[in-house]
Amino acid sequence: MNATERSIVEQFPLWERATAPLPKLDPALPVVLVGCGTSLHIAQSVAAALTLAGVQAWSVAGGEWWLRPQAYSLPGRPVQVIVLSRSGETTEAVRAARRSRADGLPVIAITVTPDSSLARAADTVVLAETHPEEGVVMTASASLMLLLGLRLAGIDTAGAAAAAAGLLQEVGRCAGTVLEGRTQAVFLGGGPLHGIAREAALKMQEMSLTPAEAYPTLDYRHGPIALADAGTLAVMLHAADAAPDETALAGELEQRGVRVLGLGGPGTVSLAIPGPPALRPLVCLPALQILGERQAGRRGLDTTRPRGLSKVVSLPDQGRLSPKAGT
């Protein structure tokens, strides 16, 4: 077991320790969640959860919110900004936080690094302790930031660790069968599960260098399904509110020779997702992380040294830290 896998399978005690008090969001103000890469995918899931809980929210990539917030929110419109970053040093995330503060917007940072540029740039910091062996690939820290974000949305995460650990074991056991002969993957999920589908595709890409994409489940028929063939693995993150249509899609994909891993619904391999629907994104995430690790192992790749990646993405200063505030 390498360090990446340990950071996946040993993350659940960290969930239980993530009990720091959370700030109260103003229910009258929309929320903009900002992140880069994995953190953006977590932000997408949390934004959907917040909106379902009655707080309008949307997610924006860090570079976009730093450079052109006016493309995502009307100038002068009061919003609450939540910036997610594992290291707290990702250039676009830090610049987005600083710009938001300069524009008079309250900023909450969600991170696992207390002494960081992001922590210093935020009004409020929400912290969790991540796995000490977590490397370039984000694993435990991604789950922890999702857990904290769901708690901000008022979701009770009690029992999530046990449910996620169980699903992780099940996916780990069947991963060899599921992945055999697969040369590409697609991850499908809607609502709060869409961000998790995108994160699962990223994990498959960066861990195993396997072509992978993600789509809202029912949108997959609108073009991308043309690529589905006998070399495809489709991971469906089923939602109860779309069961008949998602079941039909799973069957259609199997008829094309696609191997379907159905989490919470039908598939070539079907596994139940324990716990309430609101916890499905969190419960599924570690299992999807281990799927990328297993595919990397099948391809002889070392996920502790992913190709072309670094733990922190830093951009050159080039004489400016942010555009003029208010523009």
Distance CA(151)–CA(127), nearest Å, equals 13
What is d(CA 9, CA 6) in angstroms, rounded to the nearest whole number? 5
Q: How far apart are CA 161 and CA 134, in angstroms?
A: 18
> Phi/psi of residue 187, each to 5°?
-120, 130
Structure tokens at 118: 């992001």
Strand order in the sheet with 80-84: 57-61, 31-35, 80-84, 107-111, 124-127
Average pLDDT for 197-207: 98
Tokens of 104: 């008079």
Residue 324 has pLDDT above 60, yes or no: no
Q: Cα 235 to the chain's mean position, in Å?
A: 15
Alpha-carbon span 148 to 323, nearest angstrom: 30
Provide the pLDDT confidence category of residue 116 given band limits of 50, 70 and 90. Answer: very high
CA distances from 129 to 87, 90, 126, 140 (A): 12, 18, 11, 9
Confidence of residue 310 (pLDDT cuts 50, 70, 90): low
pLDDT reading at 321 higher than 80: no
Confidence of residue 323 (pLDDT cuts 50, 70, 90): very low
Q: Inform me whether the pLDDT recorded for 322 exceeds 50.
A: no
**Paired residues of 237 in beta bridges:** 189, 263
Q: Say whether 160-298 and 3-152 share the same fold.
A: yes
Helix or strand (DSSP H, E) at 76: none
Kindly report the pTM of this predicted structure.
0.94
Q: Under CATH, which architecture does the 160-298 domain have?
A: 3-Layer(aba) Sandwich (3.40)
Rounded CA gap, 241 and 251, in Å? Answer: 18
Q: Is the pLDDT of residue 152 over 60?
A: yes
Can you give the residue ranges of every domain in the chain?
A: 3-152, 160-298
Q: What is the pLDDT of residue 318?
A: 52
What pLDDT is recorded for position 315? 76
pLDDT of 319: 46
pLDDT in tens, 70-103: 999 998 889 999 999 999 999 999 999 999 999 9
Q: State residue 222's pLDDT score.
A: 96
> What sections of 115-159 are H helices per DSSP?
117-121, 140-152
DSSP state for residue 86 in the 8-state scheme: S
pLDDT averaged over the chain? 94
The answer as to CATH 3.40.640.10 being correct for domain 3-152 is no
